[in-house]
Amino acid sequence: DTGVSQNPRHKITKRGQNVTFRCDPISEHNRLYWYRQTLGQGPEFLTYFQNEAQLEKSRLLSDRFSAERPKGSFSTLEIQRTEQGDSAMYLCASSLPTGSHEQFFGPGTRLTVL
Amino acid sequence: KNQVEQSPQSLIILEGKNCTLQCNYTVSPFSNLRWYKQDTGRGPVSLTIMTFSENTKSNGRYTATLDADTKQSSLHITASQLSDSASYICVVTSNTGGFKTIFGAGTRLFVKA
């Protein structure tokens, strides 16, 4: 396990379709975070988990977005009824709950909604 | 309002030259400040982390400074290389209850031969 992995790396979908992204964190990290990043901007926080518990959600996470981490390991982020404004890079990060809480990021999933 | 402001928005320098990127923040209470490097199409990678009591930290050709009194940080890159072309993001974490990590918009650095 060399780092955080995300799948798929790229997703192109038509408006109105549902999409699901997967994140596999570093194995000993029990905190997992989702971010959205648009061109020229820094990552924007969406939500985070400690183990399987979703502890905080941003107001950016509308009702069309849902994230799960059922067994406290990998996580999925689903977007229902996609809109063109959902086009962005979706980043996942993981960290330990102690120490510096440094977040290690995955490569991201680039979503394009046509 | 908790904010992280970075300047300049973008910067072009010649290979071999030095440069300094700025970060001002209003996040409170302060826990730590990190600089990340993000290559195009990739996730951010941590360069340095500083807590309240640290005012400078180096990682190879990267040197970060922190002035907790004025809430300012800088990232100095020495003898730039073409591979330094990337976005550099300043991230400030608060130690209040709940999750509070604020990302700056980043400085886009272009190093030209």
A64-78, A95-109, B83-97: which has the minimum mean pLDDT? A95-109
With a CB-CB cutoff of 8 Å, which residues 22-81 of chain B face chain A? Answer: 32, 34, 36, 41-46, 49, 51
Burial annotation A10-21 (CB, 10 A radius, 16+ → b, else e): ebebeeeeebeb
Each of the 113 residues of chain B gets a pLDDT tens digit; together they read: 779 999 999 999 999 999 999 999 998 888 899 999 999 989 999 999 898 888 999 999 999 999 999 999 999 999 999 999 999 999 998 876 666 788 999 999 999 99
* DSSP 8-state secondary structure symbol assigned to residue A42: -
| Rounded (5°) CA angle A21-B104-A61 | 35
- Which pLDDT score is estimated for A110? 96
Surface-to-core class of residue A70, CB atoms within 10 Å of its CB (0-12 exposed, 13-18 middle, 19+ buried): exposed
- CA distance linking residue B70 with residue B42, whole number of Å: 32
Q: What's the mean pLDDT in A11-20?
A: 98
- Which pLDDT score is estimated for B97? 62
Interface touch A103/B89, C-beta < 8 Å = no
- Spatial contact of B15 and B111, defined as CB atoms under 8 Å apart: yes
How many angstroms separate the CA of residue B27 from the nearest CA in chain A? 15
